Amino acid sequence: MKMLYLVDKWRTGDLDALPYPMPPLDEWRMPPFEGKYNGLGLQMTFSTTGMLITGLNNFTITEMNISEENLEGSAVLNYPFVNMEADNYKLNGRAYVVYKLRGSGRMNVRVRNTKLVFGFRVNNNGSKPVVDDLQLDYEIESLEVDLENSSWPINKILNTEGLKIMNKHHDNIITQTRTNMIEFINEFLLEMPPERFFAIMETVNCSCLEGTTITPLE
């Protein structure tokens, strides 16, 4: 499968082997984030500077479908881990009503065993092709959190109950990630409209086999 072959080249950083320009996957940046949380005995507001995400190039593809006729695509990816780092976070609130919560410093989060499911459709009827539909969802098995200079018991609670907190912010996380993915795909489509993309795909020579999966990097 040619698409699988090209994704593997992108994932391993062999960008010169790609027939079109793509940004590296080893590091990805997300915009600043703000949110509120009320639950598990915690009431707090928090914010982060822009986040550096690593580990996005380390995945297994369990399903991939591309339709040239309908200009649709979908995939299921599995990540053994993804790291999120911010140079600075700020947190204020209370725990169990009586304990003041404060925190400011570096933030490190490691998410383990994530399943990412997404699908998109390209609208090619206007003056330029754009993604007019993108479906996205994820499942996470566990996460580890370290907030520098944070009050007790923030790190303890986040490492034991962090998944519940993330699940409460599921829709917000999906919305921000979806916005970034749509922006990325639409920027790609400006340089590489569907007709050109599929024409280039026809010229790709590879020894890949149907049904092959991409395994995580060692």
The beta strand positions in the chain, using DSSP E, are 27-30, 33-39, 42-48, 51-54, 60-67, 72-95, 99-123, 130-147
Distance between CA atoms of 151 and 147, rounded to whole angstroms?
A: 9
Q: What is the mean pLDDT of the chain?
A: 84
Higher pLDDT, 28 or 1: 28
- Over 50: is that where the pLDDT of 218 sits? no
Q: How confident is the model at residue 211 (pLDDT cuts 50, 70, 90)?
A: very low
Which CATH fold would you assign to the domain 2-35+53-84+109-203?
Answer: Bactericidal permeability-increasing protein; domain 1 (3.15.10)
Return the CA Rg of the chain: 20
φ, ψ for residue 42, nearest 5 deg: -110, 140
Distance CA 196, CA 202 (A): 10
CA angle 98, 102, 104 (to 5 degrees): 170
Tell me the residue type at 69: E
Compute the CA torsion angle 211, 23, 27, 140 (nearest 10 deg): -40
Q: Is the pLDDT of residue 79 over 50?
A: yes
Cis omega (within 30 of 0) for bond into 153:
yes
How confident is the model over 114-163, as pLDDT tens digits?
A: 999 999 888 877 678 888 788 999 999 999 999 999 988 889 888 998 88
Tell me, what's the pLDDT at 214? 47
Q: What's the whole-model pTM score?
A: 0.76
Question: What is the residue type of 211?
Answer: G
